[in-house]
């Protein structure tokens, strides 16, 4: 991958709050409708509203915008908060599928999309908490 010369934050480049909100709405719509992501949808509460708001608040700070999640809830401790859910490689792939589809719908800039996929994959990989099978 080419190193980007753009020094603006992800938050600025994506288009701030308005576009980030659209991204998160689209992300959970994917999770709610794709057959492939049924296993991770089932881990979530029936109403996705709270997850949507929390992901929006977290990503705002993670992308270099306002630290909404930390201001409200303190340190995210994301890996610890995900421990109740069995996150293996398949769950990771499902999460990334929702995110890639949402990015394709909401973000026009292909370079930005690729950088976000790369960076978010790192965060998602950190959430894995299941040993992989030895096949
Ligand atoms: C790797 C696959 C992942 C799976 C299967 C997964 C699954 C979940 C589930 C089941 C919840 C609880 C939702 C509810 O209360 O209904 C949750 C919460 C959350 N997830 Fe994930 N997640 C993944 C990756 C990520 C990543 C990569 C991020 C950040 C970029 C993230 C950010 C969050 C946040 C901020 C919350 C809310 C935490 C809170 O309770 O305050 N997740 N996730």
We report the CATH number of the domain holding residue 102 as 1.10.490.10
Exposed/middle/buried for residue 30 (C-beta within 10 Å: 0-12, 13-18, 19+): buried
- The total number of structural domains in the chain stands at 1
In a domain, 80, yes or no: yes
Query: Ligand 1, from 47, 54, 82: best to mutate by most atoms within 8 Å of Cβ?
Result: 82
In a domain, 78, yes or no: yes
- Give the pLDDT of the chain (135 residues) as one tens digit per residue: 556 677 999 999 999 999 999 999 999 999 999 999 999 999 999 999 999 999 999 999 999 999 999 999 999 999 999 999 999 999 999 999 999 999 999 999 999 999 999 999 999 999 999 987 655
Q: What is the DSSP string of 14-32?
A: HTHHHHHHHHHHHHHHHHH
How far apart are the CA of 11 and the centre of ligand 1, in A? 20
Domain with 101, as residue range(s), is 13-126
42 Cβ inside 6 Å of ligand 1 = no
> What is the rounded distance in angstroms from the CA atom of residue 27 to the CA atom of residue 100?
8
51 Cβ inside 6 Å of ligand 1 = yes
Can you give the pTM of this predicted structure? 0.95
Exposed/middle/buried for residue 133 (C-beta within 10 Å: 0-12, 13-18, 19+): exposed
Atom of ligand 1 nearest to the CA of 57: 35
């Amino acid at each position: 991958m080419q190193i980007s010369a753009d020094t603006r934050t992800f938050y600025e480049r994506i288009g701030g709050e308005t576009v980030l909100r659209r991204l998160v709405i689209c992300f959970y719509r994917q999770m709610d409708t794709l057959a492939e992501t049924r296993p991770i949808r089932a881990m979530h509460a029936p109403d996705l509203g709270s997850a949507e708001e929390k992901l929006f608040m977290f990503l705002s700070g993670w992308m270099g915008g306002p630290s909404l999640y930390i201001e409200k809830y303190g340190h995210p401790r994301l890996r610890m908060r995900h421990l109740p859910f069995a996150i293996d490689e398949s769950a990771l792939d499902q999460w990334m599928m929702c995110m890639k589809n949402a990015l394709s719908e909401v973000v026009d800039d292909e370079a930005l999309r690729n950088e976000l996929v790369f960076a978010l994959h790192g965060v998602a990989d950190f959430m894995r908490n299941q040993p992989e099978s030895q096949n």
